[in-house]
Structure formats: structure tokens, C-alpha cells
A and B are shown apart, each in its own frame.
Chain A
Amino acid sequence: MKNRLFSSLLKYIVLAVILIFLLFPIYWVLITSFKSNMEAYRFPPSFFPTDPTLDAYIKLFEVNNEFFVYYKNNFIVSGVTALITTVLAIFSGYALSRFRFRWHKWAVALLLSSQMFPVVSRMISLYDLLGDINLINTMEGLILALIADMLPFTVLLMVSFFDAVPNAIEEAAFIDGANRSQILFQIVTPLVKPGMLAVGLYAFLATWDDYLHAATLIQTDSLRTLSAGVALRYLGELSYDWSLINTISIIGTVPMVALFFFFQKYMVKGLVAGAVKG
């Protein structure tokens, strides 16, 4: 009995330690963003803001509003990428799930292996390649490169969602005289809505996180997305404006956290389907 109590206590202690490690840094950045500059640079630090203020947020809106250009650009780039990726993933996912031609094995191998290659290696020649077709330093070029980056994982994820839809439904529709594309768009696609959401959200989150594509393929400041813009504009000098950076961290993260918690069910399902079953 004593042993049991001890092990249960130990369990909660370990749980608490890991959770503190995972969550405390976020709390720390959050409260720092509400501190005045004076208080943020006080040492030893204070664990609650003694005099909470919105100064850092106001300053971000008024002085450093290039940030919101990056923010808007990132919503456009991630939104368009997520949308197109989802549509293409539905097409290919369905084809790979339902038809089994010999060369499909090669298509799967191609998609699997292309996830392994480092992005820097691609950037070296994409820089050249996009220059040749006049898409360097444009949002269109960035979006194309990002869609290609997202496709391998999302297509394979979509395959596992289509695999879970029983064939009997399609057979019935076929007997009723529906053709292939009607079956796909009117009958099967509505059944994989959770998969579409998982794929779209994954693509949105992952491209929101992109730094390398934007940093190498875009040179005009007003076209930059969040990560590249923040890194190149605010992290240049030796000393950082920490209250600004903490505020940026919070505002840059909030939409992703909101999106994740709102669509948690689909995200978790997608991630698990992609890795555990795939």
C-alpha cells in the first residue's frame, strides 16, 4: 500500500516536472510581454508583472508595424498553400488508394523519399530555377515551392483517410451509373472531410513555420512572411529589443494555438493516422 502511494506520488511529480518544462517558457514570455521595459530588464526577474502594461503591444502597432505586413503575407501564403495542397492531396490520395497500377509503387517511393532531402540543398538550385522562370522574389514562386514541400506528407496522409472509406459505397454508386469523377467528387470526397481538415491544417501550420523558403526565395521586405521577416528585421543587431521580441512571439503564436485547440480533434487524428497507421 505504502509502495503504491509512493509510486503514484512519484508519477505526479514527474508529470509536473515535464509539464513545467513544456509550459513555463510560454508563461514566461507571456508575462514579459506585459511588463514595462524597466521591469523586463530587472534582475533578479519578477515572476508576476508588478505593474502590467500594454505598452509593448501598442508600440508594436504604432512603431514596428512592418510586422503586420509579414503577418498578412503569411496568412496569404499559408492559406493559399493549404488550399491548393488539400485539393491536390485529395486527387492523388484517391488515385493511390483506389487504383493499383504497377507504377503507383514508384509514386509512393518518390513521395516518401522526397521528404528526407534537406531543404537547403533544394534552395541552392531553386534559387536558380525560379530565377529562370521569373518567379524568384514573388509570392507565387514561394507558394509553388511550399506546395511541393507539403505534398509528399499530405498525399500519403490522404491515402490513409481514403483507405478507411469502404469500397461498397462506390460500387453501389457505380452500379447506379455514376462515373468515376462523380464518384470521387460527389460521393467519396464528402466522406473524408476530417482528412481534408487534417491535411489543410497541417499544411497551414507547417507553412506558417517556414523560414528557409521565404528567407532564400524572397528579397523584397514587403513580400516577406513572418519568420523570415522577423528574423531579418528584428534580429539583425547584437542586442535585441526584448520586450518587442516577446510581444512578437506572443502575437505570432496566438493564431496557431487557437487553430490547434479549435480543430484539435482533426489535427490529432491526422497526425496519428499519418504516422502510426501510415
Chain B
Amino acid sequence: MVNKSMGRPLRKKLIPVKRSTGDIIFSSLLLLPALIMTITFIIVPIVDSVIKSFQDFRIKNIISGQPGEWNNFANYIKLFQSQKLIGAIIATFSFVLFVVILQFIFGMILALILNSKVLFARFIRSIMMTPWVVPTIISALIWMWMFQPQYGLVKYFVGVFSGGAITDFAMLNNTKTALLGIGIAALWKQIPLTTLLLLAGLQNVPDDMLEAATIDGAGRTRKFFSIVLPYLKSVIKIVISMAIIANFKQFPLIWTMTGGGPDNSTTTLAVLSYREAFISNNLGSGAAVTTIWMLLMVVVIVIYNKLLGTTDID
């Protein structure tokens, strides 16, 4: 079979030899290092942390080498009894919703503009990526400087635009605005990649279809919803699920900017688990938070996939 195609369905037939033992050994040897690494350093620790979530396991257990003891769901019971867990779940979901939705909207707007005939589109596409390469901790520092309560630029602008009425605006020190402030920093860092991927998707929309629609008298809005969006569907799905996972997992940005405060208003599940495990040195309780967190994430991803049709994991 002579074929230049690289489509997956054909590949099996293109392998010139039969599945000999040699091939099984060869491909297994190639795969083994990566699988061993993934299992040892990701899968085993995850399973182990779920087990530890049912135990009384603290730093002293590590130091003395004693295994943790089964403690009758005490970690979970304590978490549910305190307000901390519910607060963290609410903070996490507000953060994820806010960032993912706005990230998609602004990313889409910017991608559509860059895909239309606009001056310097290539140049803009490359410089707009800068925030994406700025390390997360440094993004946090950049925005902390912008929001700085005494000399900050945002404080200055809020003062100017409110006509001097608000002179003590401190985004990150206020329980009502702190999470918003972190959300803005997250948007700043993540909009570029969203735009880049959506732009790549837009460039795959066939021009002749758009032209035909124009000739048929379709307006711009109509073309967007009837042609562009359906073509983009798979890209949009991936972009949004990447955004959900990334923001669900977000830790360094929040930890650096507020450390979970003020008054726990920015304590997400990531912050809560880290604080329980590595600040209070109660690893069992931290593990209980991450276990609940993983369950919630799985639920969200499953619902999300149901809403947007089934995914094919190859």
C-alpha cells in the first residue's frame, strides 16, 4: 500500500513487518522509561496520598519513619466540620469560573482581530505572547507591584478616575477584591496562549466557505455562529478544558500574591491543602483536601465533556 497519508486509521497497515516478538520488545523498551517515571513519581504518590488522607500522618511520622495510623475519617470529618473546606471550594469555583470565562472571551476577541486584516498582525501575535513566558512567581510580583497599596499604579488610576474620591484602594488587602486581583493576574498570564491556540484554529476555517456565505448574503455575526464556531468546536473544547485544569491547579500565583488571605478570602483548595500539609505539618489532612479536590475536578471534567459531547481519547 503506497500512501503518503499519516492518518491514524491507516497506520496499522503500513507497518511493513508483522507484529513480531522483536517489535513488542523494542517498543516496550522504548516506552518503559517514561512509564516507569510516570508511575513512580505521579501515579504511586497520588494513590499513596489518597491512602494517607485516611490516616493520622504528620511530619513526625516522616522523621521517625513510622507509618501513619488509620483514624476513622477524622481528617475528613474535621474538614467538613470547619468552615474552611466549604470556603475553599467556593473560592476555587469562583476563581475558575471568572478566569476561564473571561480568558475565553478576551482570547477569542483578540484571536478574531488578529485573524482579520489588521496591521502588524504577525508582529502583534509574537509580542502578545510575552506574559506567557514570564514565570508565574514573577507574574505575581509584577501584579503585586501594580496593586501595591502605597505607590501602586492601580491605586493611582482608581484615584484619578474616581475624581479623588477613593484614595486608599488596596486590591489585595480587601476581602472583597483580593480574589479578583489574583484573577486579573491569571488572565494576564493566560490570555496569550488561549489566543494563540484559537488563532491557529481560526486559520483552519476554510476561506471558500466564508466567501460562499458572504455571497449568499450572510452577515458577520451569522458567519461567526454558523461557520466559524462549528469549525472551531474541537479547538474550543481543548482550550477550555486546559484552562479549567490549569486554574483548578493554580497555586504559586495565589500563594505569592496573598498567601490565602486576607481573612481566607483567597484560600482555594490548592492553598488549603498546601497549608494543611506543609505549614501545619498535618500531611494527612492536606491529603484529604487534595483527595476531595481531585474528585471535584473529575466531576467538573466529566460534566464538561457531557455538555460538549463525548471526547475521544484516541
A253 contacts B188, CB within 8 Å?
A: no
* Known A45-B153, A92-B34, A166-B6: A260·B242 in contact at CB below 8 Å: no
Judge if A54 is at the interface, Cβ distance under 8 Å. no
Q: Is chain A's interface secondary structure helix, strand, loop, or mixed overall?
A: helix
Judge if B127 is at the interface, Cβ distance under 8 Å. yes
In the complex, which residues of chain A have a beta carbon less than 8 angstroms from the beta carbon of B305?
Answer: none
A129 contacts B145, CB within 8 Å?
A: no
* Known A22-B191, A108-B314, A227-B137: A15·B118 in contact at CB below 8 Å: yes
Size bracket, chain B contacts: 35 or more
Contact partner, B252, options A211, A246, A275, Cβ 8 Å:
A211
Judge if B101 is at the interface, Cβ distance under 8 Å. no
* Known A91-B33, A110-B43, A271-B197: A101·B38 in contact at CB below 8 Å: no
In the complex, which residues of chain B have a beta carbon less than 8 angstroms from the beta carbon of A164?
Answer: 6
B42 contacts A122, CB within 8 Å?
A: yes
Judge if A116 is at the interface, Cβ distance under 8 Å. yes
* Known A99-B27, A116-B245, A208-B135: A148·B40 in contact at CB below 8 Å: yes
Contact partner, A116, options B22, B144, B297, Cβ 8 Å:
B297
Q: Give chain B nearest CB distance to A28 CB in angstroms.
A: 6
* Known A23-B130, A98-B15: A121·B113 in contact at CB below 8 Å: no
Q: For A230, give the chain B residue with the smallest CB separation.
A: B137
In the complex, which residues of chain B have a beta carbon less than 8 angstroms from the beta carbon of A163?
Answer: 6, 8, 11
Contact partner, A40, options B8, B26, B151, B287, Cβ 8 Å:
B151
Alpha-carbon distance A144/B137, docked complex (angstroms): 22
Judge if A118 is at the interface, Cβ distance under 8 Å. yes
Judge if B69 is at the interface, Cβ distance under 8 Å. no
* Known A11-B116, A25-B142, A110-B38: A129·B48 in contact at CB below 8 Å: yes
Contact partner, B301, options A28, A116, A226, Cβ 8 Å:
A116
Q: For B242, give the chain A residue with the smallest CB separation.
A: A275
Residue among A15, A23, A152, A253 facing the most chain B CB atoms (10 A cut-off): A15
A272 contacts B200, CB within 8 Å?
A: yes
B135 contacts A227, CB within 8 Å?
A: yes
Judge if A111 is at the interface, Cβ distance under 8 Å. yes
B238 contacts A108, CB within 8 Å?
A: no
A15 contacts B110, CB within 8 Å?
A: yes
Judge if A107 is at the interface, Cβ distance under 8 Å. yes
Judge if A212 is at the interface, Cβ distance under 8 Å. yes
B106 contacts A124, CB within 8 Å?
A: no
In the complex, which residues of chain A have a beta carbon less than 8 angstroms from the beta carbon of B14?
Answer: 167, 171
A91 contacts B113, CB within 8 Å?
A: no
In the complex, which residues of chain B have a beta carbon less than 8 angstroms from the beta carbon of A129?
Answer: 44-45, 48
Q: For A74, give the chain B residue with the smallest CB separation.
A: B135
Judge if A2 is at the interface, Cβ distance under 8 Å. no
B138 contacts A253, CB within 8 Å?
A: yes
Alpha-carbon distance A85/B314, docked complex (angstroms): 23
Judge if B192 is at the interface, Cβ distance under 8 Å. yes
Q: Give chain B nearest CB distance to A262 CB in angstroms.
A: 11
B33 contacts A119, CB within 8 Å?
A: no
B145 contacts A32, CB within 8 Å?
A: yes
Mark contacts of A90-106 with chain B using CB atoms, 8 A cut-off: 1 yes-contact digit, 0 otherwise: 01101111111100110
B270 contacts A118, CB within 8 Å?
A: yes
In the complex, which residues of chain B have a beta carbon less than 8 angstroms from the beta carbon of A184?
Answer: 30
Q: Give chain A nearest CB distance to B279 CB in angstroms.
A: 11
In the complex, which residues of chain A have a beta carbon less than 8 angstroms from the beta carbon of B273?
Answer: 118, 120-121
Alpha-carbon distance A223/B110, docked complex (angstroms): 41
A88 contacts B37, CB within 8 Å?
A: yes
B42 contacts A148, CB within 8 Å?
A: yes
* Known A28-B145, A129-B45, A167-B14: A124·B151 in contact at CB below 8 Å: no
In the complex, which residues of chain A have a beta carbon less than 8 angstroms from the beta carbon of B278?
Answer: 123, 216
B274 contacts A120, CB within 8 Å?
A: yes
Q: For B283, give the chain A residue with the smallest CB separation.
A: A124
Q: For B51, give the chain A residue with the smallest CB separation.
A: A125
In the complex, which residues of chain A have a beta carbon less than 8 angstroms from the beta carbon of B124?
Answer: 15, 19
B134 contacts A256, CB within 8 Å?
A: yes
Alpha-carbon distance A115/B46, docked complex (angstroms): 12
A26 contacts B134, CB within 8 Å?
A: yes
Q: Which 4 A-B pairs have the closest CB atoms?
A: A148-B41, A121-B290, A125-B48, A95-B30
17 A-B pairs with C-beta separation under 8 A:
A23-B128, A25-B142, A44-B156, A88-B33, A101-B19, A118-B251, A118-B270, A120-B277, A124-B283, A128-B48, A163-B6, A163-B8, A174-B16, A231-B255, A242-B151, A252-B137, A257-B130
> Other CB < 8 Å A-B pairs besides A18-B128, A249-B138, 8 of them?
A25-B146, A42-B151, A91-B34, A122-B45, A129-B44, A149-B42, A271-B196, A271-B197
